[in-house]
A and B are shown apart, each in its own frame.
Chain A
Amino acid sequence: MSSHITLRVARYRPEEEAESTFEDYEVPCPRDWVVLDGLNHVKDQIDGTLSFRWSCRMGICGSCGMLVNGEPKLTCATFLADYAPGPIRVEPLRNFPVIRDLIVELGDFMGKLTRVKPWIIRQVEKPLSDGEYRQTPEQLDEYKQFSMCINCMLCYSACPIYGLDPHFIGPAAIALAQRYNLDNRDEGASERMRVLSEHDGIWGCTFVGECTKVCPKHVDPAAAIQRYKLQAALDWVKGVVLPRATS
């Protein structure tokens, strides 16, 4: 393995240029360096103007998602050596407006996340003095995988529907809606269902499952979307056949 590798990094400086360009940087390539280490080497030693987000460097804060050779990746968990001999193309996540260099605008997702009401909704809140809501390990397993979403946006970047139709509420927000819908402490599924049905983007999801493939935390948003569609279809049928059965 060569001791260095070239990072071909997308640069975009909105105050100076109308579109993004690529710049090459040669960085060391020890076995345990990840793409993010390479970017930090550039920032610290070669070009202090390169801008990107990062924080925990252990795959849990969700900050450092980028395209690596065209694929959405957490750069803290993507090893340089796996791309030898290079060069490695590093770009901002696809399907988002770029603020600068490798930094994308997340405001759209933040709004969508709020819209699906990702919190416990109950008709009557139990007082703390009554202790915990019981939840067996099996009940926990019902929603657990959907609670593992770190909001890293890789799934939005991979989603062909979101790419075409930015109104689509998107994989992570739907997975998080399901995370609460499937929680036995929650009673808000019908409220969330209304939000999810506001826009027909969800019916455009063709079960390509790109979201699930790129998820670094093994969440299965595609399954959440299919479950939602099935539920929505059942509700529709119930609404037509047995109008009084719907809430």
Chain B
Amino acid sequence: MAVTPSFDVILVGGGGAGLRAAIAIAESAPTLRVAVVSKVYPMRSHTVSAEGGAAGVIAPDDSHDEHCYDTISGGDWLADQDAVEAFVREAPQELLQLEHWGCPWSREPDGRIAVRPFGGMKKMRTWFAADKTGFHMLHTLFQTSLKYSGVVRYDEWFVTRLLVDDGRVHGVIAIELATGRIEVIPARAVILCTGGCGKVFPFTTNAAIKTGDGMALAYRAGAPLKDMEFVQYHPTGLPFTGILITEAARAEGGYLINKDGYRYLQDYALGAPQPKPVLRTMELGPRDRLSQAFVKELEKGRTIDTPYGPVVHLDLRHLGAALINRKLPFVRELCMKYQNIDPVKQLIPVRPVVHYMMGGVHTDIDGATPLRGLYAAGEVACVSINGANRLGSNSLPELLVFGARSGRVAAEYAAGAPEPGRHAEAQLRDEQRRLETERVQPGGRERIADLRQEMQAAMEDSAGIYRTAAALSRGVDTLRALQERARDLRVEDQSRTFNTERIAALELSFMLDIAEAIVASALQRQESRGAHQRTDFPRRDDDRFLAHSIAERQTDGSCRVGYLPVTITRWPPAERVYGERPPDRGLKHELSHYTSSRTVPS
């Protein structure tokens, strides 16, 4: 029986959140034994793909309250305001910490940190490292983590299950990809940092590895998922590849135009077009509104047809080669390499593309889940600071702030938690039997790729930018049927050595669970809020749905959705206004009735 050394805290996932958490533990509790378990080498993690920047208040004309207000209104009042306040307060310190660790932030001529505008933000507060911010943050964190020799890495280990006993998490069971070895890695606490699940959709900016593993691990272990119906479509992806063209392209002054060359956003309550970018206006509106405007343009017949579906154009030509090369070099590189166009001279074809999960594993403000010993941080988690729609450049500071918080809190918990006991062995034996049986089981009929594709099609059909009860119900049925068919999966590869087909089967199984939670949550939310737009319920309904949805897996595998209240501190729900001055903010109202748990829809 293979049981590796026991740890105090295990990070599942070695992206931005996991590495930040690992460093936080190494610094705050250097005697603790910490392990990072990741299915890829940490520097391959998807944080690497983030482009535009990371928000943190540093400008003299900016304030924490303004960043809070932008985030809360951008999230259509579904964010927990105490969490947003903590996030906004700690984000600048975290970004500064990365600066001290060597992150090559772009600078002002005098050497101070430079900030750029970003969508839905009323002030310039987005730190950036050209347009490879995530890449530089991830490599800075990874390289910095190497100096803490106490942090043990399990590179290319795939976690299949959380060990749970007596209501506590005691570690993980994982497969070493290179050898196929299945082991228990015991720990007093586990922090999930596995990122999102864009791959449940067909057209996404997300990397191949974004299969919702952590969400599924938590969900199966009995920890609920929160606000899963809120899926962010980024308005500007390249057709075919889904490669992201960062919002920074619009922040630097790019226009979105339809087939007539018209800046169509002016028709969608996003303000009037100006030659230069105006904050919280037009192209610098929030992502949900911009993606929804695309669909309306499509319905009006004003998009451009391409072999890969309808597109609009992103026009950067007026910015000039010098600015594009200095501020958006990766955009130019990606367009030239993958789209064979040069944005200095040509229009970039773009369409909305699945980008980010606002929802995730339900946590409190410290990343703790309701399951003792289990924490989550980064995109896998839902704290929630993003509410119904995340603002661009809030996710990178989020993974730092809550990675660090969860690391410190998990370390404290681990110091007092019981040593993982012998009960792990029975669960390991079960899991080994299951995985070994599946590995050598020949003759299934269903191809992994076919089921994956059908799942993705069902998700786009039912849980796309606009949703209806009929389409969502269809989605529920299709996913149930796919779950059944997935029992008869054909896995040709029976080897132990780096069996990627086996991993793809496990990932598919994770994704199907997550997809069901998304669709079930979306079906039950009978209102339109942020990224969740129901054509059959076109208005926001604060009486019934100013509430977080909580999806729990039932013993028969089905999903039950309940609700929890949203925490409102200082910003009472109001209308989202873009294109002009937002309503007066910062006023303290009598808000007690918003924090009571009155919102439980029938």
Give chain A's interface residues, CB within 8 Å of chain B: 13-16, 32, 43-45, 47-49, 51-63, 77, 99-101, 103, 105-106, 110, 113-114, 117-120, 125-126, 128, 131-137, 139-140, 143-144, 147-151, 176, 180, 183, 185-186
Q: How far is the CA of A183 from the CA of B391 in the complex (A)?
A: 32
Closest to A74 in B: B337
Q: How far is the CA of A224 from the CA of B283 in the complex (A)?
A: 41
Residues A56 and B495 in contact in the complex (CB < 8 Å), given A44-B449, A62-B43, A132-B96 = no
B239, chain A: closest CB distance, angstroms: 9
B508, chain A: closest CB distance, angstroms: 12
Residues of B within 8 A of A56 (CB): 44, 46, 48-49, 207-208
Interface residue stretch chosen among B28-36, B104-112, B367-375, B533-541: B104-112
Residues A135 and B107 in contact in the complex (CB < 8 Å), given A15-B497, A58-B338, A180-B102 = yes
Contact yes or no, B99 A99, CB < 8 A: no
Question: Does chain A have a CB within 8 A of B493?
Answer: yes
6 closest residue pairs by CB, A with B: A134-B111, A44-B449, A118-B143, A49-B493, A48-B492, A55-B207
B19, chain A: closest CB distance, angstroms: 12
Residues of A within 8 A of B155 (CB): 110
Q: How far is the CA of A53 from the CA of B337 in the complex (A)?
A: 21
Residues of B within 8 A of A49 (CB): 492-493, 495, 501
- As a 0/1 sequence over residues 479 to 523 of chain B, the CB contacts with chain A under 8 angstroms (1 = contact) are 000000000001111011111110000000000000000000000
Q: How far is the CA of A61 from the CA of B38 in the complex (A)?
A: 14
Contact yes or no, A128 B96, CB < 8 A: yes
Q: How far is the CA of A60 from the CA of B246 in the complex (A)?
A: 14
Question: Does chain A have a CB within 8 A of B313?
Answer: no
Interface residue stretch chosen among B116-124, B132-140, B548-556: B132-140
Give chain B's interface residues, CB within 8 Å of chain A: 40-41, 43-46, 48-49, 93, 96-97, 99-102, 104-107, 109-113, 132, 135-136, 139, 143-144, 146-147, 155, 178, 207-209, 240-241, 243-244, 330, 333-334, 337-338, 447-449, 490-493, 495-501
Contact yes or no, A186 B107, CB < 8 A: no
Residues of A within 8 A of B338 (CB): 32, 58, 77
Contact yes or no, B493 A48, CB < 8 A: yes
Contact yes or no, A132 B99, CB < 8 A: yes
A127, chain B: closest CB distance, angstroms: 9
Q: How far is the CA of A125 from the CA of B491 in the complex (A)?
A: 53
Residues of B within 8 A of A63 (CB): 40, 44
Closest to B501 in A: A48
Contact yes or no, B96 A131, CB < 8 A: yes
Residues of B within 8 A of A103 (CB): 498
B447, chain A: closest CB distance, angstroms: 8
Contact yes or no, B209 A55, CB < 8 A: yes
Contact yes or no, A139 B111, CB < 8 A: yes
A131, chain B: closest CB distance, angstroms: 7
Interface pairs (17), CB distance under 8 Å: A14-B497, A48-B491, A51-B500, A53-B44, A55-B44, A58-B49, A61-B46, A62-B44, A63-B40, A63-B44, A99-B498, A100-B497, A110-B155, A119-B143, A119-B146, A128-B100, A185-B100
Residues of B within 8 A of A14 (CB): 497
Choose among A45, A53, A60, A62 the residue that contacts B449 (Cβ–Cβ < 8 A).
A45
Q: How far is the CA of A113 from the CA of B110 in the complex (A)?
A: 32
Residues of A within 8 A of B97 (CB): 128
Contact yes or no, A15 B496, CB < 8 A: yes
Contact yes or no, B96 A135, CB < 8 A: no
Contact yes or no, B495 A15, CB < 8 A: yes
Residues of B within 8 A of A60 (CB): 48-49, 132, 135, 330
Residues of A within 8 A of B112 (CB): 132, 134
A224, chain B: closest CB distance, angstroms: 16
B200, chain A: closest CB distance, angstroms: 16
Q: How far is the CA of A61 from the CA of B243 in the complex (A)?
A: 13
Q: How far is the CA of A234 from the CA of B178 in the complex (A)?
A: 44
Contact yes or no, A120 B100, CB < 8 A: yes
B385, chain A: closest CB distance, angstroms: 22
A134, chain B: closest CB distance, angstroms: 3
Contact yes or no, B101 A57, CB < 8 A: no
Q: How far is the CA of A77 from the CA of B500 in the complex (A)?
A: 22
A38, chain B: closest CB distance, angstroms: 14
Contact yes or no, B207 A119, CB < 8 A: no
Residues of B within 8 A of A52 (CB): 500
